[in-house]
Amino acid sequence: MALRNTLIADLYFRVVNKFIVPQLVHFSISPNQITISGLILALFVPVGFYLHPAVGFFVMGLSAMTDSLDGLIARNQAKESSFGAFLDSSLDRASDFFYLMGFWVLFWDQDAFILASAIIFLNLLCTFMISYLKAKADVLNCTCNVGLLERGLRTVYLLVWALVLSILPEYVNGILWVGLVLYALLAFLTVFQRINQIHCNLKHPLT
């Protein structure tokens, strides 16, 4: 399920293309500079969450928005390249790591910190697997477009989770655990769906 194919995404990209992309092009900011800027912002997401969930939400939102701009800038400047796509995909994985580390920070004072840490790292594993399976499927020339937690929806999920934590501080413990466990279930389901789809497309048993 790709977020980019929804009406909300279409509206978002229309607004960005009209008001933000022209400004970036005017100042001759390159796609790769945008990509690296998104990662730099992601580095500060755990710090933001340490200060307050609202700060984490804001920094993550800036990073995610920046990450959505590099492809638009590349097309606008006719600078699309294989290296740019490689850099974007690679740094996205690093950003995924720092986004989840932001939520991990919020579990530091929890009694069940070790359990939370185990689930966080399981979520990281599943997150990286989701992306790896898609990349491997592309190499094998098979379809791999199933699962709720593709990158766009995954980022939206984390933003919504952070926003709810920000506006309902009195329920922070429950929201933390519900968000964490739900992410784990959706991520694991997405991994399973992608492996199953690749298996079906390749038409040979898993080994």
Question: Is pLDDT at 206 greater than 50 in this prediction?
Answer: no
> For residue range 120-158, what is the model confidence (pLDDT) as tens digits?
999 999 999 999 999 999 888 888 888 889 988 999 999
Tokens at 39, concatenated: 């990662």
Distance CA 152, CA 155 (A): 5
Mean pLDDT of 47-55: 97
Q: How far is 195 from 97, CA to CA, in rounded Å?
A: 22
pLDDT of residue 73 exceeding 80, the answer is yes
Would you say 46 and 105 are in contact if contact means Cβ atoms under 8 Å apart?
yes
What domains are there in the chain, each with its CATH number? 3-202 (1.20.120.1760)
Task: Give buried/exposed letters for 117-142 (b at 16+ CB in 10 A, else e).
Answer: eebbeebbebbebbbebbeebeeeee
pTM here is 0.91
3-state DSSP call for residue 88?
helix
Encoded amino acid at 94, one letter: A
Residue range 98-127: average pLDDT? 96
Q: Residue 5 pLDDT > 70, yes or no? A: no
Q: How far apart are CA 149 and CA 41, in angstroms?
A: 22
